[in-house]
Amino acid sequence: MPFIRITALGPMLTAGQISRLNTEVTGLMESVLGKVAELTSVLVEQPESARWTIGGIATPVAVHVDATVTAGTNKPEQKALFVERTMTLLKNVFGPDLNPATYVVVTEVPANSWGYDGRTQESRRLLV
């Protein structure tokens, strides 16, 4: 049940670009990290007013991806591959103006600290 937040600054994304980000990052969560696509939530947001700097210099195109997963459910190699493939996706969607200091973060949350439909991930694991 991962949650992915993609925050982007730059030219407004088209509906097609947003759909591509949603679909492809969900696919990466499933194929690379072994997550269930039907339980994967993706939020693509573009703040209307933001000042994003990298190295203290304003950047015209910037993206931050934070993928939240249950702690201990993925190996370092899987997370590294997810970061690599997500960055490739971002480069394809945002083009050459995307700053290379674009971060893709896999945040691990303890199973007893989050869940969905009123139950923690830990309680789901105990039922198996």
Radius of gyration of the chain (CA): 16
What are the chain's domains? 3-127 (3.30.429.10)
The whole-model pTM stands at: 0.93
Angle between helices 15-31 and 76-94 (to 10 degrees): 160
Integer Cα distance of 124 and 111 in angstroms? 9
pLDDT per residue over 24-51, tens digit each?
Answer: 999 999 999 999 999 999 999 998 767 8
In this structure, are residues 99 and 62 in contact, taking their beta carbons and an 8 Å threshold?
A: yes
Joined tokens for residue 75: 């190996």
If we measure between CA atoms, which residue out of 108, 127, 107 comes closest to residue 117? 127
Pairing relationship of beta strands 3-9 and 62-70 according to DSSP bridges: antiparallel
